[in-house]
Structure 1
Amino acid sequence: MASAAFEEIVEDFEFLDDWEDRYRHVIELGKAMEPLDDAFKVPANKVHGCASQVWLQPAIENGVFRFDGDSDAMIVRGLIAVLRALYNGVAVTEVGGIDARAELGRLGLHDHLSAQRSNGVRAMIERIRDVSVERT
């Protein structure tokens, strides 16, 4: 059920031999992402439960979910980019049906993120799901 953009990340990870290279790739994904406009870095968009500062700005247009995001930590910015690849362009009614844990497991992220980073990813996923439910 993953998007083509997410499948591309999965394929990229298959070619990277070790976690250090994968970690660098996640950071590069974050660097390639457009920064979130400061006007959206407000308390209402802040994700709680993350060790670093994280903001998600969701939008639903014609029943399609997408979000932009930002963080003050490079790896977290990269994780936001991965989540954007997973969720952006999905029908808002299907967001809750995505098994993000399983999809991210295909990248081996659970095994290589600190407990704090894993909690932060969970908090971002919960926020995405909550917003999709609120707006359906």
Structure 2
Amino acid sequence: MTSPFVRPQEATATEAITAIGDELDVFDDWMDRYQYIIELGRKLPPFPEAWTDDAHRVPGCQSQVWMEADLANGVLHLAGASDAAIVSGLVALLLRVYSGRTPDEVLRTDPVFLQDLGLLEALSTNRGNGIASMARAVQRAAREAVAV
């Protein structure tokens, strides 16, 4: 079985943010960027059906979003999914930045990068609030991992 947890493509969260920014800059308009983000969501590892429950649901999202975190050898591994294509892509972006990092690196990496990349103002208010909820869920998982 394929692991549902996202493996990091870049060595650090900062490098992932830079790479995402470079990839988004290739596109001239937001429709092309949205299509790219949707494609990222389609490439997420399969999320176990058993985790599509209330215990894994991220509150505050208009679409259904589920996330799971696992701390192994001091590294936080994250999995996620959504029932909406664009939101799945946003999940993929967040997990690319945060999954496979230490909880300390996750906590040091402010989700303000979402605003810096222009993602928040390009989204509807509800979607912007949803991605902020997802970022809070990731930060909460990191805080809980540090407390262990």
Normalized against structure 1, the TM-score is what? 0.92
Deviates more, 1:109-118 or 1:88-97: 88-97
Q: Is 1:33 the equivalent of 2:76?
A: no
Where in structure 2 are the equivalents of 1:108-119 lying within 5 Å? 108-119=118-129
Note if contact 1:3-1:85 (Cα within 8 Å) is conserved in structure 2. Answer: no
The 5 Å alignment of 1:1-136 reads 2-101=13-112, 103-136=113-146
Would you identify which runs of 4 or more consecutive aligned residues in structure 1 move more than 6 Å?
none
How many angstroms apart in 2 are the aligned matches of 1:78 and 1:134? 25
The alignment-based identity, stated in percent, is 39
CA-based RMSD of the aligned residues comes to 1.4
Deviation at 1:123, TM superposition (A): 0.7
Which structure shows the bigger proportion of residues in helix conformation? 1
Deviation readout 1:43-80 (Å, 9 max, x if unpaired): 11100100011000111111111211000000000000
Q: Distance in 1 between matches of 2:66 and 2:47?
A: 8
Q: CA deviation at 1:6?
A: 3.7
Q: Count how many residue pairs are aligned between Structure 1 and Structure 2.
A: 135
Q: CA deviation at 1:18?
A: 0.7
Which one is further off, 8-17 or 67-76? 8-17
Q: Given residue 97 of structure 2, which amino acid in structure 1 is its aligned partner?
A: L
The separation in 1 between residues aligned to 2:77 and 2:23, in whole angstroms, is: 23
Which piece of structure 1 moves more, 19-28 or 33-42? Answer: 33-42
Secondary structure of the equivalent of 2:33? Answer: helix
**Stretches of structure 1 lacking an aligned partner (at least 5 in a row):** none
Whether the aligned pair in 1 keeps the contact of 2:60 and 2:129 (CA below 8 Å) is: yes
Q: AA paired with 1:72?
A: D
Pairwise CA distance, 1:34: 1.9
Structure 1 residue 3: Cα displacement: 4.4
